[in-house]
Amino acid sequence: MADPCLDDAIAQFRKLKSLAEGALAQVPEARWFEAPAPEANSIALVMKHLSGNMRSRWTRFLESDGEKPDRDRDSEFEERAGDDAASIRARWDAGWTLLFDTLGALGPGDMARAVTVRGEPHSVREAIHRQMTHYAYHVGQIVLLARLRAGASWKSLSIPKGKSKEYEVAKDGSRYRPGGR
């Protein structure tokens, strides 16, 4: 028996990953490391941070605190020797795989179980929502940074500017089509 909240959370995480991937695909990997200003994060550092967060939160999710003692969060915001596009991508992919494998293994009975994040108690449902909000925040950063790096070649990941009428949904659920339905 499936849990609709869990199923929706997995779908929303997939949308966030897809949104980030659509943005990343529009920027040459070498430009992932360009920060927009001093003390600002680059695309690569946001990816590195999300990856570190995912590893910490989703490893042994039901058995241990979501903030693992071996996590060095501050280093996630520093470019270090060995940080290149391939290593950042590998961490990114591993983080998302861990998230989806962990959520895929949960059952309806797990949603009310208690877990902790930094010693703070949460239900599994609350912990999932906490992470979804956090990831949406950072995916938005990735999209904005990618858009800045892509410049005029940027392809909208949602409804392009000036095209809203083409995407309006009528009250009966059908799509609005310019010139008729």
pTM given for the model: 0.90
Look up residue 115 and give its DSSP letter. Answer: E
Indicate if the pLDDT at residue 145 is higher than 80: yes
pLDDT number for residue 118: 96
pLDDT number for residue 163: 80
Domain boundaries in the chain? 4-167
Indicate if the pLDDT at residue 34 is higher than 50: yes
Residue 137: band (very low, low, confident or very high) from pLDDT cuts 50, 70, 90: very high
CA dist 81 to 17, 19, 47, 87, 95, Å?
26, 28, 16, 11, 20
CATH dotted code for 4-167: 1.20.120.450
Indicate if the pLDDT at residue 156 is higher than 90: yes
